[in-house]
Amino acid sequence: MRELARHIHKNTNDPELLSQAKTMLLLSARAADRGASWLLALYYRDGRYGFDLDMEKSEYWRKRTDDRLASDAVLIYDDEELEGQAKRRYRIWRNYWKKIGI
pLDDT of residue 75: 46
Please, which residues have CB within 8 angstroms of residue 97's CB and are 6 or more apart in sequence? 62, 66
Share of the chain above pLDDT 70, in %: 80
pTM: 0.67
For residue 9, pLDDT over 50 is answered with: yes
For residue 100, pLDDT over 60 is answered with: yes
CA 93, CA 26: separation in Å to the nearest integer?
A: 21
How many independent structural domains does the chain possess? 1
Tell me the mean pLDDT in the region 16-26. Answer: 92
Please, which residues have CB within 8 angstroms of residue 29's CB and are 6 or more apart in sequence? 2, 36, 37, 39, 40, 61, 64
| Average pLDDT for the chain | 82
Convert the pLDDT of each residue in 31-42 to its tens digit.
Answer: 888 888 989 999
- Domain residue limits at 60: 2-100
Convert the pLDDT of each residue in 41-77 to its tens digit.
Answer: 999 999 988 899 999 999 999 888 887 765 554 545 4
